[in-house]
Structure 1
Amino acid sequence: MIGTIIGTGIFALPSALAPYGPLSLVAFVVVTLGALALALTFGALSKRVPASGGPYVYAREAFGEFAGFLNAWSYWITAWAGNAAIAVAWVGYVEVFVNTGHRTWISMSLALGGLWAAAAINLSGVRNIGAFQVVTTVLKFVPLVFMATVGLLFIDPDNFGAFNASGGSAVGAISAAAAIALFSYLGLEAASVVAGRVRDPERNVPRATVYGTLLCAVIYILGTLAVFGTVSHGALGDTTAPFTDAANNIFGGTWAGDVVAVAAIISGIGALNGWTMLCAEMPYAAARDGLFPDAFARLRGESGVPAFGVVVSTVLASLITVFSYTRFEDVFTKIVLLSVLTAVIPYLFSAAAQLYWLLVRGRENLSRGRLARDVTVAALALVFSYWSIQGSGYQTVYYGLFVLLLGVPVYVWLKRGQGRYGDEPAAAIPVPREERAPETPAPPQRLSRGLGTNRVGGPRRRSAHRHQD
């Protein structure tokens, strides 16, 4: 959880928030409260549905196959587009040592190298992914803890600048800053996405989700405050490595900043490693239910890795990286906003699924006090998700809606190949006499809705009619 949430986003975030001034710290606190509400919601959902897929599984259970598909599609976009943003921020710290002139083609090549290095680690096997994640998480956590504690002692109030540096309304600035800040919490659902690979998921996934998010929140807020107070506002907006500049200002010279830069580089490659796994896990879960192309459900030998998903997602992340470097000046912010929007949609559906279950089934299974508490948390998570979409900006919502709706023809194509309409079994659909198979169809009670997971995560059998097709 920590390894996936803490990537390079937090190391680059102070610079992205600098245009809003210290007011963005207020946005960070609001986002933290919303993230905790989401973490509690995912924790509760994972207890009830301890199967891989996370937001996809929850939406499918509550609202049907099409909602599940849209969530899987949207989250998949978040994963590979987010990898592009992580790679861009990662390059900012690599360039502390190389390409100090920030030549675009070299920066772009470094970003692509980071993406494919993470893909190679993933293709080597699940155990290697986990081992690499543990090592990188420990190494990157130390400097962040240092900045969140010792760094606070070196804060100079003159460095903060105007409280609302945006010049606009405070409410609008908080909303805009919050949409950027939310990127640093993407991954709070990671444990639920890979729940099928976790020991005792009903116990471990909720604990990892809530405690991991809470620990990251403390480090994030205090670390960002320390950077704002140790780097002047003017310099903060121009740097690509704000934590490095903060460490240099505290100790003088460049050695401390170099140490932080190395930690950020390790953090970035660790986050890319974890997110590359999520890029493959989400479509893998959907493909097993027939809601993503079958190629995503194939595992690679004894490694147990859905290699097709790893490769395709890395190719897409590479393309958006190249596009962004050649079209945008503020590459990191543009990709971040798109990633946040496509992530918030599954968050919204997950909160709605939890609220739906509580209002329909919760009254029968929970005490009145616990029901009121859980409904309040789920409602806050739902409202927070809507607010995050609103703060993403018109252009981001336009691009995000466009890429989301690109999934609709994919869904139609998948359904056509299965010979199914909606959630009905294939045998329930009228078939023209001349197209009917000569064999006697299987008894209706033996038919299922296809290959995948049922309401409690168990395997389903492919229907006889679909097998004949």
Structure 2
Amino acid sequence: MSSTKRSSGRAGPSAALGLPATSALVIGSIIGTGVFALPSALAPYGPISLVAFVVVTLGALALAGTFGALSKRTPASGGPYVYARETFGEFAGFLNAWSYWITAWAGNAAIAVAWVGYVEVFVNTGHRTWISVLIALTGLWIPAAVNLTGVRNTGAFQVVTIVLKFVPLLFMATLGLLFVDPDNFGAFNASGGSALGAISAAGAIALFSYLGLEAASVVASRVREPARNVPRATVYGTLACAVIYLLGTLAVFGTVSHGELLTSSAPFTDAANNIMGGTWAGDAVAVAAIVSGIGALNGWTMLCAEMPYAAARDGLFPAAFARLRGDKDVPVFGIVASTVLASLITVFSYTRFDDVFTRIVLLSVLTAVIPYLFSAAAQLYWLLVHGRARLDRRALARDATVAVLAMGFSYWSIQGSGYQTVYYGLFVLLLGLPVYVWLKRDDDVSARPGPAGSAAPDARAPETPQSPSGRRAVIPRSRGRAPLRHHD
């Protein structure tokens, strides 16, 4: 059984985010420095990766629709964790929270690595490793400091950075298309392998650009009118990003030669320089990309703390993650612990791998797709079990189709991640098992055998579960399953 608790007597965090700030969180979490580095990461596959981008965009929109529908029925913080726990039980909820938490801090490392490429347009142009590591660590800890000042400041910071990050992307997605030269694209399938294999591999990388579409659902308890604002922010934010992504990536592929793109650490800067001539345009794009990276890290640092915070309140994550600091409602431990882990994996990757960005991206994508898959399955479960009595046939067929597409897309993304990534991803996922055992060590005490000769506990008597801290806990559901809460 689950043990739902709170670390303090407060009613929980305040709902400080309106629709604009929530939409900014979604767009800001999706658009980071990852998209600014993505053309170079996709270059080894050639223009066929644009086909993969279209497929990924359709899958991302299916996921956005799924999260929008789920958040209407369950407008509580935790997003994928909550949906999995309520539908499949607390162990599934824990695995989703654990997997998503890995995605959040590992993804922050990938964003920081891409961010370094644009900072080094101005400093460390020789790309000395130890200076690159120092720059990356600076990029990780500045957003952590902002988050520690409170959710209102985090939201305001997100709105400001989102305006600045859109400038270069809008430029490339509009005016940049006028300068496309077909000769720059190179071989359509530069990988040399099968077209399907190239699309799958490129798609797994491209999916990183859409991680964060679920951001509003993860922080739902901090959103005003969550049943209304979370679905809108999720779907509209993903749509806006999809248009910018597709057109902007196409423009970069068409304005930077394939050979140059393979070695570029700042492809949007190179594209702007090729279009405008000189370096001033590229420098302006680099500044915007730097601001964009800080904004994305700001949003993802918040998600790093919010997912384990929601799970910890249910006794499914260490209790330290559920503690809020003072009147700021800040989960300090979650912010600091996640940033420390992101810093460690950044240092490790810089000293072990040449293709640092791609390696971390694939791990982040895999650990994100697992919660996506469970969320799509939770939506399909609800439709098949409850939806037939609540929805007309057309709405049921539409929602079921979207959920099936989201599930199929998730499976496809796992397959495209590659054997090595699946190996590492499965390993870090299974590292959560000892944590779960430790968290549940005090549960079901009444069911354990007593001393010889003592009477066995009455199996019909209700249990009083213990939280990980040993306190008596409130029982929100029976047999480890929470009832779905409908908001029709």
TM-score, with structure 1 as normaliser: 0.92
Helix, strand or coil: the match of 1:237? helix
Partner of 1:373: 398
2:57 is aligned with 1:32: yes
In the TM superposition, residue 279 of structure 1 has moved relative to its aligned partner by 0.3
In the TM superposition, residue 444 of structure 1 has moved relative to its aligned partner by 3.8
CA distance in 1, matches of 2:475, 2:208: 31
In the TM superposition, residue 446 of structure 1 has moved relative to its aligned partner by 7.9
Deviations 1:189-219 (A, max 9, x none): 0000000100101110000000100110000
Does the 8 Å CA contact 1:154/1:229 hold for their aligned counterparts? yes
In the TM superposition, residue 142 of structure 1 has moved relative to its aligned partner by 1.5
Q: Give structure 2 stretches of 5+ with no counterpart.
A: 1-25, 455-460, 468-472
Correspondent of 2:443 among 419, 425, 432:
419
CA distance in 2, matches of 1:15, 1:413: 43
Does the 8 Å CA contact 2:87/2:484 hold for their aligned counterparts? no
Matches within 5 A, 1:333-372: 333-372=358-397
2:248 is aligned with 1:230: no
2:351 is aligned with 1:326: yes
Partner of 1:384: 409
Does the 8 Å CA contact 1:51/1:457 hold for their aligned counterparts? no
CA distance in 2, matches of 1:33, 1:451: 41
Instruction: Give the AA of the match of 1:122.
Output: N
Correspondent of 2:450 among 425, 429, 432:
432
More helix per residue: 1
Helix, strand or coil: the match of 1:69? helix
Does the 8 Å CA contact 2:443/2:466 hold for their aligned counterparts? no
CA distance in 2, matches of 1:354, 1:165: 38
Does the 8 Å CA contact 1:84/1:335 hold for their aligned counterparts? yes
Does the 8 Å CA contact 1:289/1:453 hold for their aligned counterparts? no
Instruction: Give the AA of the match of 1:430.
Output: R
Does the 8 Å CA contact 2:443/2:465 hold for their aligned counterparts? no
Distance 1:118-1:107 versus aligned 2 partners, 3 A rule: same
Instruction: Give the AA of the match of 2:383.
Output: L
Correspondent of 1:253 among 278, 291, 300:
278
CA distance in 1, matches of 2:243, 2:267: 19
Partner of 2:32: 7
Partner of 1:465: none
Distance 1:234-1:44 versus aligned 2 partners, 3 A rule: same
2:425 is aligned with 1:400: yes
In the TM superposition, residue 456 of structure 1 has moved relative to its aligned partner by 6.9
In the TM superposition, residue 143 of structure 1 has moved relative to its aligned partner by 1.4
CA distance in 1, matches of 2:475, 2:275: 55
Partner of 1:189: 214
Matches within 5 A, 1:276-315: 276-315=301-340
Instruction: Give the AA of the match of 1:170.
Output: A
CA distance in 2, matches of 1:311, 1:252: 43
2:143 is aligned with 1:121: no
CA distance in 1, matches of 2:463, 2:133: 56
Partner of 1:265: 290
Q: Identity of counterpart residues, as a percentage?
A: 82
Instruction: Give the AA of the match of 2:110.
Output: A
CA distance in 2, matches of 1:291, 1:62: 15
CA distance in 2, matches of 1:88, 1:285: 28
The alignment's C-alpha RMSD in Å is: 1.7
Q: Segments of 4+ in structure 1 off by > 4 A? A: 445-449, 451-458
Distance 1:445-1:430 versus aligned 2 partners, 3 A rule: closer
In the TM superposition, residue 453 of structure 1 has moved relative to its aligned partner by 6.3
Correspondent of 2:100 among 58, 68, 75:
75
Instruction: Give the AA of the match of 2:123.
Output: V
Deviations 1:82-128 (A, max 9, x none): 00000000000000000000000000010011111111111111111
CA distance in 2, matches of 1:410, 1:190: 25
Helix, strand or coil: the match of 1:240? coil
Does the 8 Å CA contact 1:53/1:194 hold for their aligned counterparts? yes
Partner of 1:202: 227
Deviations 1:224-244 (A, max 9, x none): 000000000000010100000
Partner of 2:123: 98
In the TM superposition, residue 15 of structure 1 has moved relative to its aligned partner by 0.2
Does the 8 Å CA contact 1:49/1:456 hold for their aligned counterparts? no
CA distance in 2, matches of 1:195, 1:131: 17
In the TM superposition, residue 289 of structure 1 has moved relative to its aligned partner by 0.1
User: How many residue pairs were aligned?
Assistant: 444
CA distance in 2, matches of 1:451, 1:339: 34
Deviations 1:44-79 (A, max 9, x none): 000011100000000001000000000000000000
CA distance in 1, matches of 2:451, 2:221: 43
TM-score, with structure 2 as normaliser: 0.89
Partner of 2:13: none
Helix, strand or coil: the match of 1:101? coil
Does the 8 Å CA contact 1:288/1:453 hold for their aligned counterparts? no
Matches within 5 A, 1:434-449: 444=462
* 447-456 or 187-196, which deviates more: 447-456
- Ranked by relative contact order (alpha carbons within 8 Å, sequence separation 6 or more), the top structure is 2
Partner of 2:113: 88
CA distance in 2, matches of 1:147, 1:341: 29
Does the 8 Å CA contact 2:86/2:483 hold for their aligned counterparts? no
Does the 8 Å CA contact 1:299/1:305 hold for their aligned counterparts? yes
Q: Give structure 1 stretches of 5+ with no counterpart.
A: 421-425, 437-442, 459-469
Deviations 1:1-44 (A, max 9, x none): 11110000100000000000000000000000000000000000
Instruction: Give the AA of the match of 2:205.
Output: I
Distance 1:181-1:46 versus aligned 2 partners, 3 A rule: same
